[in-house]
Chain A
Amino acid sequence: MTGNREITYSRRQFVRLAASAAACGPLLLSPRGASGREKTLKIARWSHFLPEHDRWLVDVYAKEWGKQHDTTVEIDLISTDQIHARASAETAAGKGHDLFMFPWPPAEFQPYAIDHTEVYQTVGARHGTVNRIGHKSTFDPKTKKYFAFADSWMPAPICYLGDYWTAVGAPAGPIHYNDLRVIGRHIREKMGVPCGLALGPGLEGNVTLHTLLYAFGGQVFDADGNVNIRKNYGTITALKYVKALYDDAGTPEQLTWGPSGNARAMQARKTSCTMSDISLLRGVEQDHPDIAKNILVRPPLLGSAGIMATPYVTSCSVVWNFAENKEGAKQFLSDFIDNFRTAYEKSGGCSFPTYQNTVPNLIRRLEDDPKADPPYKYTRLKDALHWTPNLGFPGFATPAAMEAFNSSVLPRMFISVVKGQLSAEDAAGAAEVEVKRIAEKWKQVSQSAGKKG
């Protein structure tokens, strides 16, 4: 099943895919494939922003892996905005897929997850230690278990249209958040083009607003998991800033964009800048190189808490504890890491590895990208691991943090201020009430689990 995300294959793209699949050659899979009764492995996976990746995964990789393991692999691709609802339905029913691949840390679904420590150990034996983002996105420091397995992540740089910014005397684009507002306003005044950070509910808005909150020193939870959204004035500062940014340089459309709305706006030159993964560029590099050449990327902006941007995607997989084929699911995950280099290429370089040695030439690859113009355009992502905190920062991705994320507490808080419905202080207060309720709920879940076990 294909998800709701718009996936359109042009004839040219399809021919390219077929050619690349043919060129892919045999996969580097473990030579298991013992004969026996064929099994089934059911996978639900977030729909990658680059259709080419999913076509490779479904039509090439999964099929080949299935042959090697006497398994029929069924992959359902699900739009990122539908992932949570689908996973919730499955866990409520206690049946569904064996493996569920999320675009964010699925800490909320921890009660339905196996302990993935074994997968990490298996992979670790071949590829070393998982990186910080992967660890802090899938490990529960209280239970000392991994509730999921992280295979990749996507950095979220600033993307901007070079000609717009050059025309107002800022060829390097925005450097810090004051630039975004002030020079973004100059661009809107001069050219009628707004600055379009995604602010609405949904993955893009959620990630963007978590980044903004953190950059101004705000937090949802502190490092120990205590609710910190209102106690910390960084939240108020971030709210006031986003209101000013919207008023001075924004557009009403940014409050309602659906999935990839900001990317489409930039591809259509209707926004001077946004925060996105580089799939935004990959979408136009082949067919509209003139537009792609003009879209530049740079590291996140300097805020009062430093330079940082939460991952656009943290690809984390859960083997359900009610899965019918747990062993197959675990095997699929560890084999996927063995083949991650191909996954990286098929993702157009959007999905960065959680195991560095699977793409050992990552820096070189960024410095000399075969599709980018100039080829070194993505060099500025080379330090992305440094400036990317995990969702849940400064702590781990806890169930409460991720429920707050998935219930769009931050987008609703920011939008209420942007629209003038609440003051920054009142919006932060309302968000705090909501987050405290979520935290209390998970505290009780944890206590209940402790009594049982």
Chain B
Amino acid sequence: MVGALLLTLPGAIRPAMGQSSSSLFNFPHFNPPPFDFNDAFYNANGISTAITALDSPQAARFGLFRQTGPPAFLPGQKNWVVDTSNTDPDRNNVRILATTAGYIDDGTGAPTQFISLIAFLLNQNFFTGVANKRGIQMQDIVGTFEAYAAPKQVKPNGTFQPTPCGSMGDPAFQNNCFDVTSVATPTLRQDWRFATNRSPIDASSPFGYFCDDILGMWIITYFWYVDTGFGPHQTNQCHQMLAALGQKNGTNLDGSPIIKTGDELNFLEGKVVGSNPIPGFLGTNPPNPPCTAEGQEASDGSDNGAVWLICPALPDPRNGAIAPDAFLDQVRKPNGVPLDLAFTANFLCLQFTGKFCNELP
């Protein structure tokens, strides 16, 4: 499998690997691979590790649950292993192998984000209400960091489902809604988008992801194509916009365009975003009615899905952060081929050389 994936690597890495196979993995390793946090650290930051919260089967915390099965995609493949090499006093000995891919939400949509999807938080009772050492409630911090999930909307029989089931959905379509009780990779139509870039420096958030959100948590924002966007009642405007966006980004497992940036999503939601983020589509007016929508699940848990994630991004995925035994968790086509090979390439470059592909000579 890996051999097949290597064939997809950009030209730069193949010669680099070919020159000296012994030089693979032979690069400075100073970034540690990801481990889960220990219970004391969770508690100190306002997260309950009770068996009714983070350690419950529904939370599916790595180290307790999901050692095999999704996100692992090969039989027997492990999502995590016990590893005593950890030296970080805030972490435990559960090393995460499943490395989930995502686009960065900084406007570029670059395929550079790699995270460890440790656990799912289903309701407010996962928070203890204890503020962190700086007096800040974790839910206040997390609320500014959105991870954008894109569940599949087309059923195997080809039926398009224009709205999510549950409280986020349009009541008019509740008899034809898509499931939002799971964000496991096989249920997604495209890869995640992560707002790791948000920080006070550019006023995009009062908090910085890597400095304040020290559990690497996210609130999940689901986004979807609405009936007028990709359904039987698709408008001409949405048809044109989606065609142009598909040309730019490619299409997802549903056949609708992959959305990589916040501007693309906001524009398709009908918001004025300054300039048209979809080259090839004439005009700057957003669609009316819109082509997409977004929302969050009710935080009392009544939607039965994940509201938040414990899902820390690798601060710097280079130079050892992606271990030799780690594997890439990304959306795949039914035949197993990754939907977006740019993630695959970057992951393998990082794993084998310690660098992003575009940093290779």
Q: Report A's interface with B, CB cutoff 8 A.
A: 168-172, 174-176, 178-179, 181-183, 186, 217, 219, 222, 228, 231-234, 236-237, 298-299, 302, 304-307, 367, 376, 379-380, 383, 386-387
What residues of chain B lie closer than 8 Å to A236, measured between beta carbons? 270, 288-289
Number of cross-chain contacts by CB at 8 Å: 117
Q: Is the interface of B mostly helix, strand, loop or mixed?
A: loop
Are B203 and A175 touching (Cβ within 8 A)?
no
**Least distance between A256 CB and chain B CB atoms (Å):** 28
Residue contacts A-B, CB under 8 angstroms, 9 given: A169-B300, A178-B168, A232-B286, A233-B270, A233-B289, A236-B289, A302-B296, A383-B206, A387-B206
Are A172 and B124 touching (Cβ within 8 A)?
yes
Which residue of the partner chain B has the closest CB to A304? B294
Are B287 and A183 touching (Cβ within 8 A)?
no
Are B297 and A217 touching (Cβ within 8 A)?
no
B12 proximal to A (CB < 8 A):
no
What residues of chain B lie closer than 8 Å to A186, measured between beta carbons? 300, 302
Which residue of the partner chain A has the closest CB to B270? A233
Are B271 and A305 touching (Cβ within 8 A)?
yes
Q: How far is the CA of A174 from the CA of B137 in the complex (A)?
A: 14
B177 proximal to A (CB < 8 A):
no
Contact for B301 among A169, A304, A307, A383, CB less than 8 A: A169
Q: Which one, B128-136, B312-320, B350-358, is touching chain A?
A: B128-136
Which residue of the partner chain A has the closest CB to B205? A386
B127 proximal to A (CB < 8 A):
yes
Are B219 and A179 touching (Cβ within 8 A)?
no
Contact for A175 among B143, B168, B295, B301, CB less than 8 A: B143
Q: How far is the CA of A179 from the CA of B167 in the complex (A)?
A: 9
Using A182-B167, A217-B266 as known contacts, say yes or no to A168 and B300 having CB atoms under 8 A apart.
Answer: yes
B200 proximal to A (CB < 8 A):
yes
B140 proximal to A (CB < 8 A):
yes
What residues of chain B lie closer than 8 Å to A367, measured between beta carbons? 135
What residues of chain B lie closer than 8 Å to A231, measured between beta carbons? 272, 285-286, 288
Which residue of the partner chain A has the closest CB to B171? A244
**Least distance between B138 CB and chain A CB atoms (Å):** 10
Are B129 and A217 touching (Cβ within 8 A)?
no
B99 proximal to A (CB < 8 A):
no
Q: How far is the CA of A232 from the CA of B273 in the complex (A)?
A: 9
Taking CB atoms and an 8 Å cut-off, the chain B residues in 296-311 that contact chain A are: 296-302, 307
Are A232 and B271 touching (Cβ within 8 A)?
yes
Taking CB atoms and an 8 Å cut-off, the chain B residues in 162-176 that contact chain A are: 167-168
**Least distance between B295 CB and chain A CB atoms (Å):** 6
Q: How far is the CA of A302 from the CA of B123 in the complex (A)?
A: 16
Are B143 and A302 touching (Cβ within 8 A)?
yes
**Least distance between A395 CB and chain B CB atoms (Å):** 13
Are B296 and A178 touching (Cβ within 8 A)?
yes
Are B123 and A169 touching (Cβ within 8 A)?
yes
Q: A175-B299, A182-B300, A186-B300 provided; 20 other pairs, C-beta below 8 A?
A: A169-B125, A172-B124, A172-B127, A172-B139, A174-B299, A178-B296, A182-B167, A182-B302, A183-B298, A186-B302, A219-B272, A228-B272, A231-B285, A232-B272, A234-B271, A236-B288, A302-B296, A304-B266, A305-B271, A379-B136
B252 proximal to A (CB < 8 A):
no
Contact for A222 among B168, B272, B288, CB less than 8 A: B272
Are A175 and B167 touching (Cβ within 8 A)?
no
Are A175 and B139 touching (Cβ within 8 A)?
yes
What residues of chain B lie closer than 8 Å to A306, measured between beta carbons? 144
Contact for B140 among A170, A176, A178, A299, CB less than 8 A: A299
B290 proximal to A (CB < 8 A):
yes
What residues of chain A lie closer than 8 Å to B125, measured between beta carbons? 169, 171
Q: How far is the CA of A178 from the CA of B299 in the complex (A)?
A: 9
B340 proximal to A (CB < 8 A):
no
Using A172-B124, A233-B286, A233-B289 as known contacts, say yes or no to A182 and B298 having CB atoms under 8 A apart.
Answer: yes
B269 proximal to A (CB < 8 A):
yes
Q: How far is the CA of A84 from the CA of B51 in the complex (A)?
A: 58
What residues of chain B lie closer than 8 Å to A178, measured between beta carbons? 167-168, 295-298
Are B271 and A299 touching (Cβ within 8 A)?
no
